[in-house]
Structure 1
Amino acid sequence: MSAEILSQIEDVLDQIRPALHADGGDVELVEYDDEGFVHLNMMGSCGGCPMSTATLTLGIEAELRRAIPEVEGVITV
């Protein structure tokens, strides 16, 4: 697991967090695995929101994959 990639992931998440915070939610990086998947914990109102899948896939995953080519996808934990 590359410390550089982890730092890049956190940078992207920091750009997304204000929008999540506005809706009472947040996201926590759990791990970046050897296959290139980012494991995230959706917190606050995002944890139980029916739109969290769309937020995760259309927002967070798309942005991570755009910014960091090594990212293959996102998994919620």
Structure 2
Amino acid sequence: MKDEIIRTLEKIRPYIQRDGGDVEFVSVDEHGVVTVRMLGACSDCLSLDDTLTDGIEAILLDEVEGVTAVKLAEPENILF
């Protein structure tokens, strides 16, 4: 399933990158919940929730059997 998820994300990445952002696969758990990290302009975009649910999640649910949901990765702690 992981390879199918990554392949599907690669199909939609150009559209996200066109707006200055990006999406990165992090993991998929035993319940089919996919975790992604949003990068660039997407990381603090006002449309992030819509992009995640109406875009990424909708496509993965439609194209990859076993995917049940998509969530954002927890922000990493950055030390300065």
Q: TM-score, normalised by structure 2?
A: 0.89
* Structure 1 unaligned residues grouped into runs of 5+: none
- Three-state SS of the structure 2 residue aligned to 1:46 is helix
- The percentage of counterpart residues that share the same residue type is 40
Name segments (4+ residues, structure 1) moved above 4 Å: none
Q: TM-score, normalised by structure 1?
A: 0.92
Show CA shifts across 1:24-55 (max 9, x none): 00001110001110000000000000101100
Structure 1 Cα separation of the partners of residues 9 and 41 of structure 2? 17
Count the aligned residue pairs: 73
CA RMSD of aligned residues (A): 0.6
- As a proportion of its length, which structure holds more helix? 1
* Structure 2 unaligned residues grouped into runs of 5+: 74-80
Match of 1:41 among 37, 41, 45: 37
Based on CA coordinates, which of the two structures has the bigger radius of gyration?
2
Which residue is equivalent to 1:56?
52
Which residue is equivalent to 1:23?
19
Which amino acid counterpart does residue 51 of structure 1 have in structure 2?
S
